[in-house]
Amino acid sequence: MIWKQEFTLEGINQISQNTLVDHLGIEFTGFGDDYLEATMPVDHRTVQPARLLHGGASAALAETIGSVASYMCIPDISTHMAVGVEINANHLRAVQAGTLTATATPVHRGRTTHVWQVTITDEAGRRVCVSRCTLALVNARERG
């Protein structure tokens, strides 16, 4: 198992209240030994004016799940935190409605950086977006 922090899905969802995560309707729904899963609705909060899923909403979902996954892999959260430094997202399929599922799996978990592969699928299991998120592990007291 890759997780260094004890956590529950209820706990993650609770600390996400009153944040962008909450506003977009992102909910953490599952995890295993080496993955974290979350869902996000395709609705008025996550679509562009043409009523298609907004690419930025997909990127926000990917960054959210990658960041939380990194946080849960940090051995000592009293001294270190994970911050996003790069994200890319390839948008593969248009979506107008429904619920997306994002799954984050580690590509690299080093001493100073983590890289996560995030796959976002629609309700039929079709890939909507693939993303890679890089996070830096920084001293928690040096927040800028």
Query: At 108, phi and psi to the nearest 5?
Result: -150, 130
Q: Cα 72 vs. chain centroid, distance in angstroms?
A: 12
Q: Are 39 and 99 in contact (CB under 8 A)?
A: yes
Q: Which one-letter amino acid corresponds to residue 15?
A: I
Q: How many Cα atoms sit within 13 Å of 2 on the Cβ side?
A: 21
Cα 97 to Cα 41: distance, rounded to the nearest angstrom: 8
User: Active-site residue 10, yes or no?
Assistant: no
Helices (H), 30-115: 55-73
- Bridge partners for 138 per DSSP: 81
Q: Which of 37, 63, 86, 142 is catalytic?
A: 63
By annotation, the residues acting in catalysis are 63
